[in-house]
Amino acid sequence: MTQQGTQCLTRTLFGCDGLAPWLAASSRRRVTVLVDPGVLGTEIVSRVRRQVAKAGREEELTVLPGPGTLAGVLDLADRMTDIELVVGVGGGSLLDQAKLLTLLHGRPAARARLSVPQRSGITVLPQDVERGVPLVAVPTTLGTGAELSTVACLEYPQGKRLISGECLRPDFAVLDPVATDTLPAELISEAVLEALFRLVSMYAGDHDDLPTEDALVEALAVRLVTVGHQVRSARSGGQAVDRALRLEIAKLSGLTHQEWIHLGRAAFANKGWLIANEVSGALGVRKMRAVAALLPPLWRAIADGERRLGSARRLTRLWSVLSTADPIALPADPADGMAALIDSWPVERRLSAGEGALDAIAARIVRAWGAGLPMLGGLTKDELRHLLAGVIRIPESASAVGTKDSRGQTAG
């Protein structure tokens, strides 16, 4: 299967066996294999290394510990100046670092763009920036779709920033279910929710009806809800989520990143991602914990008429389609229905923080995405605080729990 982007083509391979011929056909003689320490010594790493050897290529294995930071990625690029072709094996964070490493190789303009001081939560790379080194992405987690996306996340002192550009899309994606054999079942459920969130947020966040794109999104969303229920059934029966189902989740996740799904949509229709990103960073929780907590209150605000967050009409239509995919009856109300769906999978959606957290996080969101920037559509700190009050519980012993404000300092 091939995936066509605006400027580059990502080939998708199901299983590792076809990797050797592709490597052998490349003029690059040396292959740098970047590995997440959590998967070092696993079968998927062995499979990739055997394919490199089979292709007759020289291999250099490098383990990348920790999350990707600006300083870390720049240092990595300074140290690895002789790379010719990179294969990244790991989760979304490692693949993001691999994308940025191959982008920065011999590209001082890209380094300058990543290093420029700014408060915005997004850095958009120019159309004429090209990656200096070919990249093969082998994901060992599900849901992010990093192996097919044109974005990467990078930690800056002020918080996580989204880097966006067609040049970040890998040349080759290898989807091998062996890579997710050890993935905990709860993270598989979160992965399905992540792909669903990414897909439906653009649909409900936009006010325009686009018949073809709407039909594609609805069909993919129903399929995601269906596989989410299949994961739920396996978990409730004490069974492992089998490889075929995990491969299906990986394929669906990748499809949610394709341009033809979102043609004609407003650029920042998914405001929930912006909010969840800052909640996750401030509270130090996984992104999907933040998304699960945010989705029902976000949909409630849309249903109640907050047009800057999305279309109540389109949300109602979408939920009428999705709710029929669940064999267990779900509430007809979209917000209540989504809360019930998340609880049934189950994905944890309870968050708590200390006194002052809501103000600090609201200020952080506005700093990164609003206050003159177009992403929030004019939402104010007070309006965001009101939304967050339904997302984050403030316990009575609030002083015992803290959160980070927009400067990374503890509040509460």
Q: Kindly indicate the confidence band of residue 406, based on its pLDDT and cuts at 50, 70 and 90.
A: very low
Kindly report the pTM of this predicted structure. 0.90
Any alpha helices (H) in 206-236, and if so which ranges? Answer: 211-236
Q: Taking each helix axis from N to C terminus, what angle separates 312-322 and 334-344, rounded to the nearest 10 degrees? A: 40
Question: Which residues lie below 8 Å from residue 173, measured CB to CB, with a gap of 6+?
Answer: 3, 10, 11, 12, 13, 136, 137, 138, 139, 147, 148, 254
Q: What phi, psi does 266 have (nearest 5°)?
A: -60, 145
Residue 382 has pLDDT above 90, yes or no: yes
Structural tokens at position 163: 């880097």
Any alpha helices (H) in 180-311, and if so which ranges? Answer: 185-205, 211-236, 243-255, 271-283, 287-303
Instruction: Work out the average pLDDT over 113-139.
Output: 90
Q: Kindly indicate the confidence band of residue 397, based on its pLDDT and cuts at 50, 70 and 90.
A: low
191-242 per-position pLDDT tens digit: 999 999 999 999 999 999 999 999 999 999 999 999 999 999 999 999 999 9
313-361 per-position pLDDT tens digit: 999 999 999 998 888 889 999 999 999 999 999 999 999 999 899 999 9
What is residue 396's predicted lDDT score, i.e. its pLDDT?
A: 76
Question: Which residues lie below 8 Å from residue 107, measured CB to CB, with a gap of 6+?
Answer: 129, 130, 131, 132
Structural tokens at position 28: 């690059």
CA dihedral 372, 375, 376, 378 (to 10 degrees): 40
Residue 3 has pLDDT above 50, yes or no: no
Q: What percent of the chain has pLDDT over 90?
A: 78
